Chains A and B, each alone.
Chain A
Amino acid sequence: MNINEHGASIRFENCQKTFADGTLALHSLDLSVHAGETLVLLGPSGCGKTTMLRLIAGLEFPDKGGRILFKDEDVTRQPIEKRNVGMVFQSYALFPNMTVAENVGYGLKVQKLKADVIKHQVAEMLDMMELGALAPRKIDQLSGGQRQRVALARAIITSPRVLLLDEPLSALDAILRDRLRAYINTLLRQLGITTIYVTHDQEEAMALGDRIVVMDHGRVSQIGTPREIYFSPQNDFVADFIGQINTFEGPVSNRRMTLPGGILHCAHLGDGHGKLYYRPKDIEITARAGSEFGGVVHQTQFIGDRNRIWLKGVNHDLVIVDSDGRSDFFIGQEVGLRLRPEQMIRLDRQGGAAA
C-alpha cells in the first residue's frame, strides 16, 4: 500500500441512505478507507455501490445520524464542490463547449489560478496522459478511450483529497478496457491518492483494488484483499460473484458427500446437509476407470489457453472444469474427476485466511 499525504483517509460512521421514494439504497454502514488506498466497490447493479460513491462525493447525503469524515474533518453536510474530490463519471461528463485543454484546466480556473500557471500545469498533465496533441480538439472529436483519459486528467489535476471513479471503463470495448485498466493501475500507484473505484467487473476489481468491498442489496457482503475475497469468500454470494465456482451440495455422512457422480470426501463437514465449492481450474480430469467420482462431457469450448468443459451427471447442476488446452475432449465422453481438499474454497465466515 502506498501512503501519500495527498490522499485523505475516509471514515463512514453509521451511514445509511434512503431515497425520496422510500427505497433503502444503503443499509447502515461503518467503514474506514486508509489514506492512499485503492478501495474497489464491487457488486451487481442495484447493490448500492454507486450510492456509496455518491455519498463520499457529496452528490448524495446520508440519512440522519450518519457521518462521513475525510481524515478528521467532518464533511457530511458539505456539497461536492466544497469537498475537494476528483471524480470520473461513467459517461465522462466532459464539457462539450470546451476544448480538451479547457476541460482539463477547468478545475484550476475555478480555483482562480493565473492563466499562465493553468496553461503550464495543463500542458504538463496532457503530456503525462499522452494527450498533448489533442489539446485544441473539441470533445466530440475524441474517441472513447481519449475521452476517458481527458476525464482522468481533469479529475487529478487539482490534486484532490480523494479520487472517485464510477465504472470508468464500462463504456469501452474489451481491448481498450484492458489497456486502460493497466494504465489506471500504474497511475494510481504513482499518485498514491486515496481512490474509490466502483465497478461490476470482478476482474477489474481484483486487478486494481488494494481492498475490495463486495456489495449486495445495499449491504456489504465482504471486505478484504483480492486474495481473501477470491480464496476465502465468506458467503455464497461472494463465492459466486467472484469468478466461476462450482457448488456441490448434498447429504453428508461419515465425512463423505454422496452426489450423482459418486462420493466426495469432505473431512471438515459434519453429518447432515453440506456444501463444497471448487473453482473450475482446481478440478482435475482423470480417466473414468478407477475413479470414484466423475461424469459425462456435456459441452466443451476451446479458448486457447484452456478447454472449458461442462460436465453432467456429476452434480445437480452442470459442473464447469477448466483443463489444459492441449488435451481434447468429445461430447459424451466419460471422465473421472479428482478434487483435492487443499484446493477447496471454504466459506470462511470468520474472515480469516484459509485456502
Chain B
Amino acid sequence: MKRTLSYYLQLSFTLLICAFMLVPVLMSMTAGLTNNYFQGLSSGLTLRWVEEVMALYSDTLWLTLKLALATLLVNLIAGVPAAYFLACSTSRWARVFEELILLPVAIPGLAIALALIIVYGGVQDLRTSWLFILIGHVLYTLPFMVRAVLAVLHSIDLKLLEEGAASLGAGFLRRFFDVIIPNCKGGIISGALMTLTLSVAEFNLTWMLHTPMTKTLPVGLADSYASMRLEISSAYTLIFLVLLLPLMIGTQWVGANTQKKQLSPSKPRHASLGKNDEH
C-alpha cells in the first residue's frame, strides 16, 4: 500500500503529541533514578533515592493501600446492593437518587472535605483517624461503583432472571448470589478498579482531611515537591506511577472487554419481542 504525504503528516503529528505528554513523565522517572539530575545521566543510575523515599514516606504508601482497599470493601458492600435496589425500583425517587449520588463527582473535592470538617470536625477521635479520610473517599468513589454496576444491570433482563430463579425455589439471597452477582461481574470489576484508581490518586479531598499522622501518597508527594530535592520527589513519583499504572491499564482492559461482549450478539433479540403482553 502506497502511503501518502498526509499519512506521514498525521503520523508525525500523533507522535509529537505523544512526546509532548510522555517526555516529562520519562524525564521525571529518570530523574528519580539518576545520581545527580543536574549533571545528567553521566553521573550514573542509582536506587538510592527510591530507598530514601521508602525510609521517609513508606507509611504514606501503606496508608494509601489500606485506604484504597477499605474504600473498595465499603463500595462493594454498600454499592452493589444499592445499584441492585435502584435497578429494581420503578419509583421516581429511585431515578432522583441515581442522579443525587452523582453529585460528589460534580462538587469539588475541597468543598466536600470542607463540609465533612464542618459537620464531623469536632469529633476529635474521628478527625484524627484515617477513617475520616475513608469517609471522604467512599463519598467520592461510590457513584462510580454504583454507576458501573447499574449500567450492567440495566442491560440484562434482571426481573426475568430473578423470576426464573425464584420459579426453581431460590429465595432472595440465593438469587442475589447465584444469578445477580455473577451476571453483573463485569460491572463490579470495572467499578472496583475505578474505585482503587480514584482512591489511590485522590488529592483534593485527602489534602483537606489529612492530619500529619494520616498522610496518603499523593499528599506526601505534594509535601516532597515543596520541601525535598528533585531526585527524591522524582523517585517518589516513580513509586506512585508503579502503583497506579497497572490499575489504570486494568480499567481500560476491562472496559474494552465488556464492550466487546456487549457488541457480540449474545441473545436472540427476537426472543424479547411481543413481551409487552399485559405489562
Residues of A within 8 A of B (CB): 25, 45-46, 48-51, 57, 59, 79-82, 84-87, 89-97, 106-107, 110-111, 139-140, 144, 147, 154-155, 158, 164, 167, 170-171, 200
Task: Contact check, A96 vs B275: say whether CB atoms are below 8 A apart.
Answer: no
Task: Contact check, A89 vs B160: say whether CB atoms are below 8 A apart.
Answer: yes
Say which residue of A46, A51, A96, A158 sits within 8 Å of B168 (CB atoms).
Answer: A158
Task: Contact check, A106 vs B165: say whether CB atoms are below 8 A apart.
Answer: yes
Say which residue of B169, B270, B273, B275 sits within 8 Å of A110 (CB atoms).
Answer: B169
Residues of A contacting B182 with CB < 8 Å? 95, 97
Residues of B contacting A87 with CB < 8 Å? 163-164, 167
Interface status of B227 (Cβ within 8 A of chain A): no
Known: A87-B167, A91-B157, A154-B168. A51 touches B278 (CB 8 A): yes
Q: How far is the CA of A94 from the CA of B163 in the complex (A)?
A: 10
Residues of A contacting B96 with CB < 8 Å? none
Task: Contact check, A106 vs B273: say whether CB atoms are below 8 A apart.
Answer: no
Stretch among B114-122, B171-179, B208-216 lining the A interface: B171-179
User: A-B pairs with the 9 shortest C-beta distances?
Assistant: A93-B164, A107-B168, A97-B182, A87-B167, A91-B271, A140-B266, A45-B277, A171-B271, A110-B169
A127 to chain B minimum Cβ distance, whole angstroms, is 20
What are 10 A-B contacts with C-beta separation under 8 Å? A46-B277, A84-B169, A87-B164, A91-B157, A91-B272, A93-B160, A94-B164, A110-B169, A164-B167, A171-B271
Residues of A contacting B161 with CB < 8 Å? 93, 95
Residues of A contacting B179 with CB < 8 Å? 95, 97
Task: Contact check, A171 vs B276: say whether CB atoms are below 8 A apart.
Answer: no
Complex: chain A residue closest to B164, CB-CB: A93
Interface status of B267 (Cβ within 8 A of chain A): yes
Residues of A contacting B160 with CB < 8 Å? 89, 91, 93
Known: A48-B278, A90-B275, A96-B183. A85 touches B267 (CB 8 A): no
Interface status of B24 (Cβ within 8 A of chain A): no
Interface status of B139 (Cβ within 8 A of chain A): no
Known: A45-B278, A48-B278. A79 touches B166 (CB 8 A): yes
Q: How far is the CA of A327 from the CA of B160 in the complex (A)?
A: 51
Complex: chain A residue closest to B175, CB-CB: A81
Residues of A contacting B183 with CB < 8 Å? 95-97
B248 to chain A minimum Cβ distance, whole angstroms, is 28
- Interface residue range, chain B: 20 to 34
Residues of B contacting A90 with CB < 8 Å? 271, 274-275
Interface status of B131 (Cβ within 8 A of chain A): no
Q: How far is the CA of A210 from the CA of B175 in the complex (A)?
A: 35
B53 to chain A minimum Cβ distance, whole angstroms, is 44
Complex: chain B residue closest to A95, CB-CB: B179
Residues of B contacting A167 with CB < 8 Å? 274, 277
CB contacts under 8 Å to A, within B252-279, are: 266-268, 270-278
Task: Contact check, B268 vs A144: say whether CB atoms are below 8 A apart.
Answer: yes
Q: How far is the CA of A48 from the CA of B163 in the complex (A)?
A: 19
Q: How far is the CA of A57 from the CA of B163 in the complex (A)?
A: 10
Task: Contact check, A95 vs B164: say whether CB atoms are below 8 A apart.
Answer: yes
A157 to chain B minimum Cβ distance, whole angstroms, is 9
Task: Contact check, B268 vs A171: say whether CB atoms are below 8 A apart.
Answer: yes
Interface status of B170 (Cβ within 8 A of chain A): yes
Task: Contact check, B276 vs A45: say whether CB atoms are below 8 A apart.
Answer: yes
Residues of B contacting A107 with CB < 8 Å? 168-169
A92 to chain B minimum Cβ distance, whole angstroms, is 7
Q: How far is the CA of A118 from the CA of B157 in the complex (A)?
A: 27
Q: How far is the CA of A139 from the CA of B160 in the complex (A)?
A: 15
Q: How far is the CA of A50 from the CA of B277 in the complex (A)?
A: 8
Task: Contact check, A93 vs B277: say whether CB atoms are below 8 A apart.
Answer: no
Q: How far is the CA of A170 from the CA of B275 in the complex (A)?
A: 10
Q: How far is the CA of A89 from the CA of B183 in the complex (A)?
A: 19
Task: Contact check, B167 vs A85: say whether CB atoms are below 8 A apart.
Answer: yes
Kindly name the residue among B164, B270, B273 whose own CB sees the greatest number of chain A CB atoms within 10 A. B164
Residues of A contacting B277 with CB < 8 Å? 45-46, 50, 167, 200
Q: How far is the CA of A81 from the CA of B271 in the complex (A)?
A: 25
Q: How far is the CA of A92 from the CA of B272 in the complex (A)?
A: 9
Task: Contact check, B272 vs A81: say whether CB atoms are below 8 A apart.
Answer: no
Q: How far is the CA of A139 from the CA of B163 in the complex (A)?
A: 17
Residues of A contacting B278 with CB < 8 Å? 25, 45-46, 48-51
Residues of B contacting A158 with CB < 8 Å? 168-169
Say which residue of B171, B178, B274 sits within 8 Å of A81 (CB atoms).
Answer: B171
Known: A50-B278, A89-B160. A106 touches B168 (CB 8 A): yes
Known: A46-B278, A95-B161, A140-B266. A57 touches B271 (CB 8 A): no
Known: A106-B178, A171-B271. A80 touches B164 (CB 8 A): no
Say which residue of B163, B274, B276 sits within 8 Å of A170 (CB atoms).
Answer: B274
A176 to chain B minimum Cβ distance, whole angstroms, is 12
Q: How far is the CA of A162 from the CA of B178 in the complex (A)?
A: 24
Complex: chain B residue closest to A171, CB-CB: B271
Say which residue of B165, B169, B178, B273 sits within 8 Å of A171 (CB atoms).
Answer: B273
Task: Contact check, B163 vs A80: say whether CB atoms are below 8 A apart.
Answer: yes
Task: Contact check, A171 vs B270: say whether CB atoms are below 8 A apart.
Answer: yes
